[in-house]
A and B are shown apart, each in its own frame.
Chain A
Amino acid sequence: MNLLNLLALPQSGAETFWFPSQASTGASRVDDLFYFIFYVSLFAFIAIVVATIIFSLKYSRSRVGIEPEDSPHHSTKIEIVWSVIPALFMVAMFWYGFKDYVDRRNPPADSYQIEAISQKWSWTFNYPNGAITTGGNPAIDEGEGLVVPVNKPVVIRLESTDVLHSFFVPAFRAKMDAVPGRYNYVWFEATEIGEFPLYCAEYCGSKHSRMLATVKVVSQEDFDTWVVAAADDSDLSPEERGKKLFGAKGCIACHSVSGVAGIGPALDSLYGKEETLVDGTKVAVDDNYIRESLLDPQAKVVEGYANVPMTSFAGQLDDDDISAIIAYLKSLN
């Protein structure tokens, strides 16, 4: 980290002291605006610090004695100048920030739309042709992340099934909250092929710091081939489909399949066993219990998990999906 780089302007989108590399069409505009404010601020900062130091040295009590000479303590002219000049710079900052913002809130008409559903602590990405990918929770399941074509405007429709999350890709300078109960949008046009970190930027609980995914930018041809293949799950057995859904819907964020209880109970070797509920009654883990727990999770909560309410998957899983998940859980015995 060379401190002299502090002042350097970016060259052809590469990483700088202040920013990661520019990987979207919007990035360079954000950076240019940042550097404009930065240089204005730096000039103002140096001016006030230098003035303070010079005055402190020149007018220190040991130099000038205890009674200073008389000097004016008001000047309308000076005060107007130092109010108006900063205000003019601020008008410029506001104006360019406003123009950039308006452009980045209005996606081009030919944009490709992907749905991003956030849940504690992973992302599920639904592509228009039915393909699904996931990302998040790297300690457990890496997931494929968000895959997008290069040089193509992409609109992400953000949803949340539980608490607030936020979609943040530093390389694209793009950010938007995912709010339960409403759709938010963010768009970008990637300009570089490669993988870029996708962070959740709005605090969402215990494993907020694990809600890490990647955005994989590929060429348009690669994307077209990939997205068709990804949508095709005709060759999967019910167990395999269940396993895929188990990751895609974010179940794995709370329910491990390795015997160690996480936020929720571990689900391996569970099918057919008897569980004690919070009210003391016992229930057998069978097909109907799994179905009920997916659609109405608060109905029968296992003892010790009263404070960690699970999200309902009603409306997100159809009967085939539920059967596939049941088949997968059975296969774990």
Chain B
Amino acid sequence: MAPSTNSLDRTNYLNATKGFRSWFMTIDHKRLGLMYLWSVIGCFILGGFFAMKIRWTLTPGVTDFMTQTVEQMNAYNNAFTVHGAVMIFLVIIPSIPAALGNFVLPIMLGVKDVAFPKLNRLSYHLWLIGALLFVATLFIGNLDTGWTFYPPYSTGHTDVSVITAVLGAFVLGFSSIFTGLNFIVTIHKMRPPGMTWFKMPLFLWAIYATAIIQILATPVVGISLLLLLVEKTMQIGIFTPALGGDPVFFQHLFWFYSHPAVYVMILPGMGVMSELFATFSRKPIFGYKSIAMASIAIAILSFIVWGHHMFVSGQSETMSVIFSALTFSVAVPSAIKVFNWIATLYKGSIAFTTPMLYGLSIIWLFGIGGLTGMFHSTLGTSVHLHDTYFVVAHFHFVMVGSALFGFIGGIFYWWPKMYGRMAEGALSKWGCLLSFVGFNMTFLPLFPAGSRGMPRRYAGYTEAAGFDSYNMAATVGAVVLAVGLCMALYSLIRSLKHGEKAPANPWGGVTLEWQCTSPPPEHNFDIDPPTVDDPYDMTLVEWRGQEEGFLPKNPRSDDPCIADIQKA
């Protein structure tokens, strides 16, 4: 047998032990990462089902506005609530940090595992409990508060399904806090010799910035949700005026977490972008330090902009003005990152692989998502656009177009490392293209619909309101998007059996995860410790053909597998 850096025929982390228990009770960060990955994909399908239900209800001609029953309206209100809550709490927040972060972070640091492997397992088990509470909610009642759980509606005017949903979000919060804590400690204490802060891959900077938000902001939402439960179950007045509370107080507490949480969703996607653009341009990332510092700046500034969700809530005018100004400050580091990625392309050698296609799509999608954010930070326009479909389109461009596309791009990028097989091909590229086209078809028409006054969270619109053509375009787009996403998923699953065997470094990345075999051995590296160098000096590896992929130009003599190849 020819020597190879693919270890599917040898002992690796996938086949080292077998059985349900060996996975469910594992403390291996790679297995936990994969379990998160498949759980998140499962939840994404659930959330996607409700998205299609929303689009179906709003398709002109499907439901007649005048004869729509209260039951149909309640079902719609349930659909947008479950869609939002599942996609945010169970999909986007854990997607990149918990699934990809868990898999990649320790390998990027050249270590065997995270700092607290058992805490990591507890994170996953808590996540499962939170997810089960959400699923239970679907059977307990008709959750119809919107994912924001605003009182007094949530506490005094709807059924008990709020209790399980809020408990679910509370438990998921702990899962998120533990993961963040684990990553911060691991990055601080376990970086290999030679890896200074400014030699850290940018994905780790992004995960680190994310973890700061996770451990500082999530406890606040945990407490707020508990207060909500106290009010709902014991009638203690905290947020409901009839009981002596203040509903705007809840909005402050909620957005104090939920705005930073937006960056828990987008920062890791930005981290993936930096890796993709460097590797597939085969060039050091442009402006490494400013990208790293921008991540930290975004994490810090994200804590002081929450009031822009409340411009029409009745908060003081002075507060609104201050929050408007602060919101612009968070736009600058985001813009810097985009310019740096594009500059990285300049004079590079750009490979149009599936992960890079997702990366290039994000320039377009995040461009639109980011720029339309400025309409919302500007007070004059924000008041008009608040709670219309303009906002809906804006945050889908950021949450789906950027964070989710970043997640999928990251999956395709690290897939060869996870399963030792390539998912590249026409199918995966068409999946990306169709998703991109379908996404734009769905959400671009919703911008003018919103600025023309189409309010959110409506179970239907009269024909006279004039929103039918926008809704029709969005529904057609949603179908195209769904087909694209299914193709992407199918190409991944198909590759598990039929994909080409992947070498250790199929793309030419220089970060440490590309030095271990694909899939990695149980303890990540056969040699110890791996050599640490500039994470973006692409001249350290050279192309050796399809089978061998990229190999180090100056391999270490004690690396058994590479030494064999060099001899052969």
Contact = CB atoms under 8 A, between A and B. Distances in A.
**Is the pairing of A and B real?**
yes
The range of chain A's interface size is 35 or more
A173 B379 CA distance: 12
Contacts of B158: 205, 307
Given A37-B378, A170-B453, A175 B335 contact: no
Given A48-B338, A87-B332, A206-B74, A73 B380 contact: no
A269 interface: no
Nearest to B383: A175
Contacts of A29: 380
Nearest to B382: A97
Given A73-B288, A97-B379, A176-B312, A309 B159 contact: no
A66 B282 contact: yes
Interface stretch (B1-9, B384-392, B419-427, B510-518): B384-392
B320 to A, nearest CB: 7
B448 A17 contact: yes
B377 interface: yes
B281 A59 contact: yes
Contact of A56 (B289, B343, B350): B350
Interface in A11-40: 17-20, 29-30, 33-34, 37-38
B150 interface: yes
B328 A94 contact: yes
Contacts of A18: 448, 451-452
A263 to B, nearest CB: 7
A184 interface: yes
A79 interface: yes
Contact of A203 (B74, B240, B368, B456): B456
A99 B281 CA distance: 45
B387 A41 contact: no
Contacts of A182: 241, 246, 248, 314
B277 to A, nearest CB: 10
Contacts, number: 274
Given A18-B451, A90-B332, A204 B384 contact: no
Nearest to B74: A206
Contact of A205 (B157, B348, B388, B458): B157
Contacts of B156: 163, 309
Contact of A68 (B152, B281, B288, B336): B281
Interface stretch (A194-202, A270-278, A318-326): A194-202
Contact of A97 (B241, B351, B371, B381): B381
A202 B66 CA distance: 22
Contact of A34 (B240, B381, B465): B381
B558 interface: no
Interface stretch (B85-93, B183-191, B359-367, B479-487): B359-367
Given A94-B377, A166-B387, A45 B451 contact: no
A90 B380 contact: no
A203 B150 contact: yes
Given A82-B335, A201-B386, A206-B77, A179 B248 contact: yes
Given A44-B371, A96-B380, A206-B144, A82 B70 contact: no
B336 A79 contact: yes
A181 B146 CA distance: 22
A181 B247 contact: yes
Interface string B307-329: 00000111001001100110010
A222 interface: no
A268 B276 CA distance: 68
A100 interface: yes
Interface string B518-540: 00000000000000000010000
B374 A41 contact: yes
B167 interface: no
A118 to B, nearest CB: 13
A19 B451 contact: yes
A207 B342 CA distance: 47
Interface in B244-274: 246-248
Given A45-B371, A97-B379, A68 B384 contact: no
A164 B150 contact: yes
A262 to B, nearest CB: 7
Contacts of A199: 453, 455
A98 interface: yes
A316 interface: no
With most chain A CB atoms within 10 A of its CB, the pick from B350, B384, B448 is B384
B328 A90 contact: yes
Given A52-B342, A179-B248, A208-B457, A59 B159 contact: no
Given A60-B352, A173-B383, A197 B339 contact: no
16 contacts: A1-B469, A20-B452, A37-B375, A41-B372, A64-B349, A66-B349, A68-B348, A79-B290, A82-B335, A93-B377, A101-B380, A163-B156, A166-B312, A168-B455, A180-B242, A209-B461
Interface of B: 66, 70, 73-74, 77, 144-146, 150, 152-153, 156-159, 240-242, 246-248, 281-290, 312-314, 317, 320-321, 324-325, 328, 331-332, 335-336, 338-340, 342-352, 360, 363-364, 367-368, 371-372, 374-375, 377-384, 386-388, 448, 451-453, 455-462, 465, 469, 536, 543
Given A55-B348, A64-B349, A87-B332, 19 more contacts: A20-B452, A30-B383, A37-B378, A45-B368, A51-B345, A60-B352, A73-B284, A75-B287, A82-B339, A83-B335, A120-B157, A162-B152, A163-B156, A164-B152, A168-B387, A179-B247, A203-B145, A203-B146, A309-B157
Interface of A: 1, 6, 17-20, 29-30, 33-34, 37-38, 41, 44-45, 48-49, 51-52, 55-56, 59-61, 64-69, 71, 73-75, 78-79, 82-83, 86-87, 90-91, 93-94, 96-102, 104-105, 120, 138-139, 162-164, 166, 168, 170-171, 173-177, 179-182, 184, 197, 199-210, 212, 262-263, 307-309
Query: Which 8 A-B pairs rank lowest in CB-CB distance, beginning with the nearest?
Result: A181-B241, A170-B453, A100-B380, A97-B378, A101-B379, A71-B347, A209-B458, A55-B345
